[in-house]
Amino acid sequence: MSRTVRLLLLAALTLTMVALSLAAGKQWLPWDAWTGHDPRWAIVIELRVPRAVLGGMLGAALGLSGAVLQGYLRNPLADPTVIGVSSCAALGSVAAIVFGVGGVAGGLGQFGWAMAGAAGAMALLGLLTARAESPVMFVLAGTVLASLAGALTAFLISIAPNPYAVAEAIDWLMGALTDRGIGDVTLAAPFIIGGILLLLTTGRALDALALGEDAARSLGANLAQLRWTVVLGAGLAVGAGVAVTGVVGFVGLVVPHVLRPVFGARPSALLLPSALGGAALTLAADSLCRLAPGAGEVRLGVVMALIGAPFFLALLFREGGREWR
């Protein structure tokens, strides 16, 4: 089976997950409800379509970011949380909630604070690694940023002036697409799409880097430009996603590993499939959130952790078993 056919099948799977996202929920919508003459059409237009679009963009951003970071860092366990942008965006959003300037999730105040946190993380990450020759410094800087942002987030929650702010911040940190509308899509889409387009340009440089840094330079790869492209692309895409949905993990870790046996280990061959696969996985997980028993919905971040953590453990056992042998 050619790569083109495999890519088309993956695209068909993603479209199937989009259709499932539009139809599934506590109230299933049959296909005959998808007309302007049926009153249930309002559910499709006002709730399901923005949610599906936002979920697809978020998943594509996370899956693609994971593939790029694994190629750039040459580490199969890398994912978007490595660079600390998501943690800093979460810090900005929680600060908006605690200080009462954000309003509801996706409001301009909260979105602006979250994107300010992501922008600060991108600037610090770039400055800290400006003279670094090795990706190791990139990982260390990202880990420091993530740890500091996590500690500050916990501090803000602990000093929140009222329990409602605490509950809202904790609920938001779990990540969800619940009640997201067209306004959230309008806010996030330019940043997510811009970040995705930047990340898609890194394929050739990542292929060269897979041969080693010296070999990459001899092939004409500009490693400094590649680093800034990775920082800006992942920062914009992941930061904007976190700003409107909260923290959703494991997509960037799981998707490249699932697709690598199908599309090959070459970094450039994995970028577009990872974007499609990330969208499909996120939409499938969000559909499961709505189909869970009970009156409410399970949070998307919780479902992804339940899917991703066992996968991560299995991956660790597999990699560890190879080392032990």
- What pTM value is reported for the model? 0.89
Closest CA to 202 of 216, 218, 191, 190: 216
DSSP assignment of 188-235, as one string? HHHHHHHHHHHHHTTHHHHHHHTT-HHHHHHTT--HHHHHHHHHHHHH
The pLDDT score that the predictor gives to residue 102 is: 59
Residue 34 banded pLDDT, cuts 50, 70, 90: low
| C-beta separation of 226 from 74 below 8 A | no
User: What is the tens place of the pLDDT at every residue in 53-68?
Assistant: 999 999 999 999 999 9
Contacts of 241 (CB under 8 A, 6+ apart): 57, 58, 61, 62, 188, 192, 248
The pLDDT score that the predictor gives to residue 33 is: 66
Average pLDDT over residues 211-223: 86
CA 282 to chain centre: 9
| C-beta separation of 13 from 36 below 8 A | no
Average pLDDT over residues 11-31: 85
Q: Which residues of 118-144 are buried (b: 16+ CB within 10 A; e: fewer)?
A: bbbbbebbbebbeeeeebebbbebbee
The pLDDT score that the predictor gives to residue 324 is: 39
CA 22 to CA 17: how far, in whole Å? 9
User: What is the tens place of the pLDDT at every residue in 245-288?
Assistant: 988 988 998 999 899 999 998 999 999 999 999 999 999 999 98
Closest CA to 121 of 97, 98, 141, 104: 141
Q: Which amino acid is at 132?
A: A
Q: Could you tell me what percent of the chain has a pLDDT over 90?
A: 36
Pick from 7-21, 64-78, 187-201, 287-301: least confident:
287-301
